[in-house]
């Protein structure tokens, strides 16, 4: 019996010693802050002529969308608005600067870009997947800030190219986003000719594999999708609030 008592006492002592050696669980600050994370959000839009009215709608709705985001989660938010490589509609909107112009201003015109890939004439402004890859790698993200991209378009994710070319561009965008901690959201409201399961799946593939969400507004009976500011006001706060995916772990531990 004494042997059993000694063993029991020894187990208690060992347990106490082990607990004393345990490190306290320390939660990593989200977005460089324990209470008000920094979030860098890029809103980038297909820069083709068919998007001109929608660029204006997003511009008009931006203030309300940002206010909505602030009400849902208090962040130190910086938003940058860009168009995909190309300059096909008037610069009276927030999307006057292309992603190529922005990155060249940062790094010089010798910077290699995914968007350098040859595209059919007229498709340069629709290389959404390539633009996501370029910005994920080369944007001037603030140190420790959470990173998010919201891409808006009415056409396929890499211009009207072959599925093989588009699949490769999407795979590259997913890889570059994940490597650089970028959450990718998309809004797709296709023209009737692109209102197909294949093109819808492209957007879902990109967002879901880069920790974000795809909003698909494909219209009824093959009709063109309809974009309005309400869609943007609904999704932008999600992009902001879900940019810091690491915060999800903190919620479990707190």
Does residue 20 fall inside a structural domain? no
Could you tell me the CATH number of the domain that includes residue 200?
Answer: 3.40.50.410
Does residue 13 fall inside a structural domain? no
Residue 31 has pLDDT above 50, yes or no: yes
Query: Tokens 């809103």 map to which residue?
Result: 43
Residue 250 has pLDDT above 60, yes or no: no
User: Range with the lowest mean pLDDT among 60-64, 83-87, 239-243?
Assistant: 83-87
The pLDDT-based confidence of 22 (bands split at 50, 70, 90) is very low
Does residue 92 fall inside a structural domain? yes
Give me the domain span that covers residue 241.
34-253
Q: Which two tokens stand for residue 93?
A: 């909107």
Does residue 44 fall inside a structural domain? yes
User: Does pTM surpass 0.85?
Assistant: no
Give the 3-state secondary structure of residue 126.
Answer: helix
Residues 6 or more apart in contact with residue 37 via CB below 8 angstroms:
29, 30, 31, 75, 76, 145, 146, 244, 247
pLDDT attached to residue 119: 60
Number of domains forming the structure of the chain:
1
Does residue 130 fall inside a structural domain? yes
Does residue 3 fall inside a structural domain? no
Does residue 4 fall inside a structural domain? no
**Residue 76: strand pairing partners:** 38
β-pairing verdict for 182-188 and 214-216: parallel
User: Which segments of 35-167 are extended strands (E)?
Assistant: 38-45, 76-83, 146-153
> Hey, what's the torsion of the CAs at 66, 67, 71, 72, to 10 degrees?
-20
Q: CA–CA distance from 111 to each of 56, 59, 134, 142 (Å)?
A: 30, 29, 10, 20
The pLDDT-based confidence of 8 (bands split at 50, 70, 90) is very low
Does residue 125 fall inside a structural domain? yes
Residue 105 has pLDDT above 50, yes or no: yes
């Amino acid at each position: 019996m004494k042997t059993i008592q000694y063993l029991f006492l020894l187990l208690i002592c060992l347990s106490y010693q082990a607990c004393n050696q345990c490190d306290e669980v320390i939660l990593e600050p989200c977005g460089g802050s324990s209470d008000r994370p920094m979030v860098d959000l890029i809103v980038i839009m297909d820069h083709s002529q068919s998007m001109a009215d929608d660029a204006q709608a997003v511009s008009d709705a931006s203030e309300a969308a940002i206010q909505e985001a602030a009400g849902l989660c208090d962040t130190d938010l910086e938003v940058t608005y860009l168009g995909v490589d190309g300059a096909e509609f008037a610069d009276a909107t927030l999307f006057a600067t292309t992603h190529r112009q922005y990155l060249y201003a940062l790094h010089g015109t010798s910077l290699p870009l995914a968007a350098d890939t040859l595209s059919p004439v007229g498709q340069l402004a629709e290389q959404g997947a390539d633009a996501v890859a370029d910005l994920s790698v080369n944007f001037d993200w603030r140190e420790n800030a959470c990173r998010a991209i919201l891409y808006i378009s009415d056409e396929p994710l890499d211009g009207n190219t072959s599925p093989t070319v588009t699949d490769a561009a999407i795979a590259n965008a997913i890889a570059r986003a994940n490597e650089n901690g970028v959450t990718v959201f998309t809004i797709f409201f296709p023209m009737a000719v692109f209102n197909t399961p294949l093109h819808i799946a492209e957007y879902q593939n990109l967002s879901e594999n880069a920790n974000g969400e795809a909003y698909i507004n494909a219209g009824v009976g093959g009709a063109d999708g309809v974009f309005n500011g309400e869609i943007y006001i609904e999704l932008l706060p999600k992009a902001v609030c879900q940019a810091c995916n690491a915060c999800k772990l903190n919620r479990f531990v707190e």
